Structure 1
C-alpha cells in the first residue's frame, strides 16, 4: 500500500482575520474522545433458516491512508483501480459463528491473516458461508465449511466487484456465480491528448437531469469505464474444481437465476453512454441464458433513459422492474406504465403488471394499478399481494390479486397515506419455499397470514405481531411490546406455529441484543447475544422525550439530553445544541406523529450532537421540523416561515422548562440539515451560532428538483430563490461553521456549494469558517478527519455559544 503524509489535513479559512491556511489534525477534548474512539460492536447476520448467527467485527473508522487509496470516478460509481472493487467499501476484520438457538460456537479456522472481509453470506442450504477478502491489489473468494469451521480460498485472484457484489450463490451449495476479470491489471496510466473536444447536444426534446456527480466526461472516461466494469461470469466450485465460464465478457449490471435454477437473466450495459446521467440510465439489454451460459433469447432492449421526467411519480417508459416470480419455476414479471412514465399524462391506470413463462414468448397481463407498482409478494399460485404508491398525494395501496388469472381484479386491503404512520399495518411475514425464495408465511390451516410492525403510537413505538385473516382482512393481536422501559422489535418469526420470534431488546443504557421470545405466553425471553454498551460514560446522562406545539398548533417532539448531575432547581441554565432535519408533509396531523421509542438505546455515530452533553450542553436531538403543504399548496411554498416557526417552538419549549439559556443556543445539521442551518441563521435571530456540514446553499445549482421538491427552477423560481440562503448571505450575521468533504459524491451537495457560500459571507462581512476534509465523501469515514471535525465543532461551540460575548456585527 502506498503511504501518504497525513499532516496534510483540513483546509480551513476564517473570517475575522482574513486567514486561509492548512492546520494539523487535532483531537477533541477527552470527554468527547472517550465516546468517539470506542470499539465498534460487532454486526450480526442470521442465516435465512435461523440456524446460524455470524458476528462480524469491524473498525469504527477507516484510516486516512485507506481513504486516500486510488479512486476513479466514472458514470456515478467510484472504483478502486488497484483491486477492481468499489472504493470506500465497508469491511470486517473478525468473524465468530454460533448456532443461533443453542449459542454453541463454531470454531472458524484458516481465515486469511490480514482479514478485510466483504460480502459475507450463507449458502442456500447453509452448509457453507462465503466472503470476499479485499487486499490492496486483488480480491479473493473464500468459503467456510459449516460442519468443520474450515475456511479455504477457492479463487485467489481475478475477481471484480466494480458493478456490485462480486459473487452470488448458485441454486444449491455446490458453486457460486462470480464476476471474473481474469489477469487484467490496473489500466496503464498513459497521458493521452484528446482527439477533439467533448460535445453534447440539446435537440429540442425535453431531457431534464438531476445534478449527478462523478459522470463520464469524454471518450477516455468511456474507455476506462468499459475496462474496469467488463467481466465474464464464472462458476466457482466449493470443492476446488477449476472455474467454469458461464457468460462471456460484458458489462453486467446485474444477473439472477430462475427459482428452478435452469435459466439466467443478465442485464448488460450497452453504448451509447451519457455524459449527464449515471450508468443506471445507460442503455442495456436483458438477455436470457440457460444455467450453463447458452444464449436463449433477448428479452428486452432498454434504451437510454434520458427523457424520464424529474417528477417523483415519473418512471421510464417500457418494461421496468424485471424479476423472477418467486413461487414459479421460471416466470418473469415486470411493470409497464400506460402513461409512458409521465405523471402529467392522463391515464385511467398508472401501471400494468405482466408475466411470461418459459419459453418467454407470450405475455400475460396480471393486473392494472391506479398508482405506480412498488412490489409484490407471492403466496400460492392463485394468491399474491401487490403494492402501489403515488408520491404526489402520498397514497399507497395493498391488495390481493389472483396471478393465475388474466387481468386479475384487486381486492384492496389497505388504502392509506404513507405519512400516517399510526395507521401502518406492518409487513407480511415471509418464509422460504422449495426454491429457497421468499414467499408469504401461511398459518397451518392456510387461512391466515402474519404481520410484524413498529406499532407507532403517541407513546412511542411498540412493535407487534398480528395474525391476519385472509377471508375478511381482519387482524388479531398476538403480541405487542409493552414499551414501558425497553424497546423490543421483531427481527423475524422463527416458528409461527410454536409462536417463537427473534427479537432485539434495548433501553437507553443497555445495548441492543438478540433474544428468543415465545409470544404465546408471558415467559421471559432467552438472551442470545451479549454485546456490551460501548458508551458507558453516558450512564448518568438524562434522556427524555419532550412534546410541544408549533405556534399554529402542529404537534412536535424531540429528544432532550441533559448532563449528568444537572439540577435545574439550582437555577443554572445551560447552553444548547439543537440538531434537526426538515421533512415535507401534506398532512399536518401526520407531521406530529411520534416515530421512535423513548426507550431506544443512546447510540452515537460520527455526526451525533449527543457528544456535547458531556461538555455541559443541553442537547436537543432530532427536533421535528415539518414543512407542510396544505391543500393544493406545496410544502416549500412556505418553507422559511415554517422553518423559523419549528425552531422557535423548540427553543420556547426548552426555555419554558427552565433548563436552557435561550440566548446561548446553537443549531447544527448535515446535508439538508445544513441547508436548514444556514437558512435559520439568515432568517431569524434565534441562534448564537450554527454548524452546517456538507450542505447545498444555492438551489439554482440544483434546478431540476431537490429533496422533496418536484418542480424545476423554471416552474417555481420564487420558491428556489427564497429557499436559497446564498441569496441572503448578507443577512447571515451569526457565526457559522461550514464543514464539507472535499470529495462529496451526493447529487446536489457539491463541495463547491460550501466554498461559494463561505465566499459570499466573507464578501459581505459575516463571520464564518470553512473546513474541507481531505478525501471525504458525503458521509465521513476517516478517523483523523472525524476527530478533527469534532474538535472544530467543539472549538466553535465553546467560543460562540457557551462563552458567548455580545459582539457588534456593525
Structure 2
C-alpha cells in the first residue's frame, strides 16, 4: 500500500504544480521500532466465584493489508461486509485458564487454528465461557468447557455482529441468545444502480439540530445496504447445539433474557431512517417476548430522536433505557424526562424512573423522582438500590438510596459532589455477578454494607482504595489503600468477610500484574514480564507548578535513561490535551501517580527519550470558566499561559531548553497544538494528528462547548486556528487517518487547514495514513507516522537551521525530502 501525498511548490513569482508522489513506508530508529513491537500484555478476566482467571493473549498490530479489508461505513457503524461483523476489532489469539488460588495453568485446547477471538463471556455458573471467532467469511460462536479447558464450535450458526454484542448467556447457563445472519437473505443489494431520483431532505419549521457525525446514510441505496447487513434473527442456542428462532427478523440492536429466564427484552431499530443522525437515534421498538418466541408485551415504539436539545445532558422525550432489574425475576425499569429533555428548564423533577413487573399487564410503578438527569441504576437487594444522576452545567453528580420495595418513600441522598473534584470522590460501589449473571451491588453477607472502589486522588498523586460503608449509619471503614512505591488498583471483590479482593499492581519499573489480597496477605496471580526491558530504567518525575493566575498544574517529565544533570538542557517534546473546568480548585488537583508503569502505546510521546529528548507528557492544560463564565470564553489566553508555565518549570529544573521545544497533540490536542502555534512563539515545531481546525464546521457544539455557533460566534471564530493560518510561521506537521470516524474530525479539516497554511507560505507537511480511523492501528502506518514525527523533530527542533525568509517560505515539501 502506497501513501499518496499531493504536493505543490510555491514561488514568489509563479506557481509550479507537482504531480502526486508515491512515498514508500518508512521506519523510525530501531530503538523506537523495538518499543512499538514489544509483545502486548495479555488481557485478564475473572470468574465471578473467584475460582478461575482467564488470560487472553492479544493480537499483534494488524498489517496494512489486514486493515484494508472491505469496510462498509454506514449509519454510524463500520462493518466488514464479508463477515457481517465490526471491521475494526482488537482480537485475542489464545486462551489460558488459571485455577485460583493453587495457580495451576491450563492452555485451552481445540481453538481454531488461526484464532481471532472477541466477545468473551463467562456463563452465570462459571462452568463455561463463550466467545466469537472471526474467520474470513463469518463470525462464529464457540464454547469452552472450563474444567476440561477445551473449546468447540457451535455448528451451523453465523452471527450478525453489526451492533457488537452478538450473544448473551441465559441465566440457567444452558443456552445463549444470539443474533444470527438471516438465512437465505441472498446477495447484498447492488450499489452501482442508477438513481431513480434526487436525494431530498426537508424540515417544516421544527428545531432538529444535530452535532457533526461520521459514516451516515446518504441515499436510498445506503438504506438498503443497512437493512441487509443489520437485519438479524434472535436465536436461542442450547449448549447441546439445538437452536430455536425467537420472534421475527429485524434490525435488532439487543436481546436480553430476564433474570428468571422466562422472557426476552428485544430492542429493534426501524424506518424512517435519518441522513443526519446515526442508528442510535433511529426509531426504536421495545418488546418483551416469551422465551418460546411469542409476544408477551409491546412496550413502546419511539420515534426518530431528531429534536433533542443541543446539550450534554439532553435526552429524547418519552421512555428510554429499558432494562431488567438485576435483582428481581422479571421486572422492567426505565426513565422518562419531565423537562422535555432539556435540563435547563426550571422544574423540580427532571427525570422519573418507573418499574413494571411480569406479566406486564399491571400498573406501572413509580420508583424515583430525581432533581437531576438520570444516569443509571445499581441494584442490590429487595430493599436497596442506588440511583445516579448528573447535571453538566456545574458538573454536579448525585447518588440516591432507593428502596424498591417501598417506592413511595422519597430517595435519600448518599453522595453529592462535583465530578471534577477528584479529591473528594467517594468511589464507585463495587458490583459482582449474581446467579443469573447480572451485576448487583456487592453487599457482603450482612446486606448492610456497600464497598467503594476509589481512585484516591490526592496532592501526592492517585492512591486507590477500598472502603466499606454501612448503608444505614453512613460510617466508612477503610480496608486498604495503595502505598508507595506501587500504584495498585482494586479490580474485583471476592469475599467481604475475609477482606479478599483482586488488585492490579505496578511500579515505575515493574509492569502491571495481578494479585490476590487476603487481609494483609498478598498472593501473586500473574508474572507478566517487562516488555520494554531493552530501554533500561526510565527517569520519570511528576512536576507540580503554577501558572500566573494561580491555577496549579502538573506534568510527567521523562528524561533519557543515561541523562546526567551536567548534560544540560535538552531538546523537548511537550504533549497535552486540554480539559474544561468550572472551578479553578478542581482544575488544580493532581492526577496520576509517580508510581505507574510507562506503557508505549502508538500515540505516546515518550518514544523520544530514546532519541535524546526530554518529554513532558500529560501536561495539564485546564481551561477554567467559573460562575456565569464559560471555560472557552478565555480559551487561548489560558492555553498559552499553561504551556508557557510548563516550559518555564522545565527550564527552571535545567532539563528543558526553552529555545528547542516542540508541541504535539492528537484530536483535541491537535486543535490545541495549532492554536498554540497561532497565538504564541513558544515552540520550534508542532505536530498535530487527526484534529479539527475550523469550528464553523462543527456549529452545533464541540468537545465540552455546548453553545452553538449562532449563540457564541465570537468564541467559535477565536478558537479556530484556521482563521489564523496567516499567523502560523512555526513548522507544523499535520497527520490524519484517511477514514477518521470521530465526530467532527473529518479529514477535510486537515486538508483545508493544510491548504490555508500553504497559501500563506507556512512550513507545513500533510500526511494521510491509508485506511486509518481516529485511532491508528496498522503496523506500517504507525511506524511511518513515528518516522515522520522523528524526522520533523530532528529537522526543526533538535538541531534547527536558522530561520530565514527562504526557509520559512518553501511551499510544499515532497514526500521524500524530509531526512
How many angstroms apart in 1 are the aligned matches of 2:562 and 2:783? 27
Q: 1:180 aligned to 2:144?
A: no
Q: Does 1:9 align with 2:6?
A: no
In structure 2, how many angstroms separate the alpha carbons of the residues matched to 1:407 and 1:747?
A: 42
Residue 600 in structure 1 maps to residue 596 in structure 2 = yes
- In the alignment, is residue 637 of structure 1 matched against residue 637 of structure 2? no
Cα distance in 2, alignment partners of residues 212 and 724 from structure 1: 19
Structure 1 151/185 Cα, relative in aligned 2: closer, same or farther at 3 Å? farther
Q: TM-score, normalised by structure 2?
A: 0.95
8 A Cα contact 2:343 2:373, kept in partner: no
In the TM superposition, what whole-angstrom CA distance separates every residue of 1:256-299 from its partner, at most 9, and x where no partner exists?
Answer: 11111111110111110001000100001101110121111210
For residues 190 and 547 of structure 1, the distance between their equivalents in structure 2, rounded to whole angstroms, comes to 57
State the match for 1:132 in structure 2: 132
- Counterpart of 1:81 in structure 2 is 81
Q: Distance in 1 between matches of 2:598 and 2:481?
A: 22
Contact 2:343 2:372 in 1 (8 A): no
The answer to whether the Cα contact below 8 Å between 2:166 and 2:178 also exists between their aligned partners in 1 is yes
CA apart distance, 1:122:
1.4
1:552 aligns with 2:549: yes
Q: 3-state DSSP class of the match of 1:798?
A: helix
Equivalent position of 2:766 in the other structure: 770
TM-superposition CA deviations, 1:520-573 (whole Å, max 9, x none):
x3x4x1111011111113323211111110111100001000011211234x21
Query: Alpha carbon RMSD of aligned pairs, Å?
Result: 1.5
Moved more, 131-140 or 771-780: 131-140
Once the two structures are superposed, residues 640-688 of structure 1 have per-residue CA deviations (whole angstroms, 9 ceiling, x without a partner) of 0000001000000001111111010000000000000000000000000
Cα gap change, 1:452/1:499 in structure 2, threshold over 3 Å: closer, same or farther? same
Q: CA-to-partner distance for each residue in 1:768-801, whole Å, 9 max, x for gaps?
A: 0000000000000000000000000000000000
Structure 1 position 426, deviation (Å): 0.6
Question: What SS does the aligned partner of 2:752 have?
Answer: helix
Q: Deviations over 1:424-482 (max 9, x none)?
A: 01111223434332222224333322212111111111111111022221211121111
Residue deviations 1:227-272 (CA, integer Å, cap 9, x gap): 101111112222233x211132111011111111111110111110
Partner of 1:511: 511
* Structure 2: gaps spanning 5 or more residues: 12-16, 809-819
Instruction: Give the match for residue 390 of structure 1.
Output: 391
Aligned partners of 1:15 and 1:767 also within 8 Å: no
Q: 2:262 maps to which residue?
A: 262
Match of 1:373 in 2: 374
Q: Hey, what's the Cα distance between the residues in 2 that align with 1:13 and 1:143? A: 53
- For 1:507 and 1:486, the matched residues in 2 are separated by 5
For the structure 1 residues 527 and 700, does the alpha-carbon distance in structure 2 shift closer, same or farther, using more than 3 Å as the test? Answer: same
Give CA deviations for 1:357-416 in whole Å, capped at 9, x if unaligned: 112231111111110111222222222111110011110111212222244312112211
CA distance in 2, matches of 1:100, 1:512: 19
Deviates most, 705-714 or 200-209: 200-209
SS of the residue corresponding to residue 419 of structure 1 reads: coil
Aligned to 1:207: 208
Residue 785 of structure 1, aligned match among 781, 784, 807: 781
In structure 1, the partner of 2:539 is 542
The separation in 1 between residues aligned to 2:37 and 2:331, in whole angstroms, is 51
| Native 8 Å contact 1:15 1:762 kept in 2 | no
Residues 263 and 219 of structure 1, relative CA distance in 2, 3 Å threshold: same
Q: Deviations over 1:585-608 (max 9, x none)?
A: 001001111121110001110010
Contact 2:191/2:221, CA 8 A, preserved across alignment: no
> Is the alpha carbon distance of 1:15 and 1:624 closer, same or farther for their aligned partners in structure 2, counting shifts above 3 Å?
farther
Q: Which residue of 1 aligns with 2:194?
A: 193
Query: C-alpha displacement at 1:189, in angstroms?
Result: 3.9
Matching residue of 2:721 = 725
Q: Could you say which residue in structure 2 is the equivalent of 1:3?
A: none
Check conservation: 1:155, 1:236, Cα contact below 8 A.
no
Please give the alpha-carbon distance, in whole angstroms, between the structure 1 residues aligned to 2:526 and 2:407: 49
Query: 2:204 and 2:387 mapped to 1: Cα distance?
Result: 39
Structure 1, residues 297-347: CA drift from partner, whole Å, max 9, x if none?
Answer: 210111100000111121110001111111111111111111110223321
2:93 — aligned with what? 93
* Separation (CA, whole Å) in 1 of partners of 2:598 and 2:128: 36
Between the aligned partners of 1:412 and 1:725, the Cα distance in structure 2 is: 45
Matches for 1:414-453 after TM superposition, within 5 Å: 414-453=415-454
8 Å CA contact 1:327–1:380 kept in 2: the answer is: yes
Gaps of at least 5 residues in structure 1 are: 1-5
Q: For 1:147 and 1:348, how far apart are their aligned partners in 2? A: 55
1:122 and 2:122 are equivalent in the alignment: yes
Distance across 1 between alignment mates of 2:593 and 2:797: 30
CA distance in structure 1 between the partners assigned to 2:407 and 2:151 by the alignment: 50
DSSP-derived class of the 1:155 partner: coil
Please list, as runs of the form range in 1=range in 2, the aligned pairs for 1:456-471 lying within 5 A after superposition. 456-471=457-472
Q: Say which is worse superposed, 185-194 or 227-236, in terms of deviation.
A: 185-194
Asked if the contact 1:129/1:146 (under 8 Å) is kept, the reply is yes
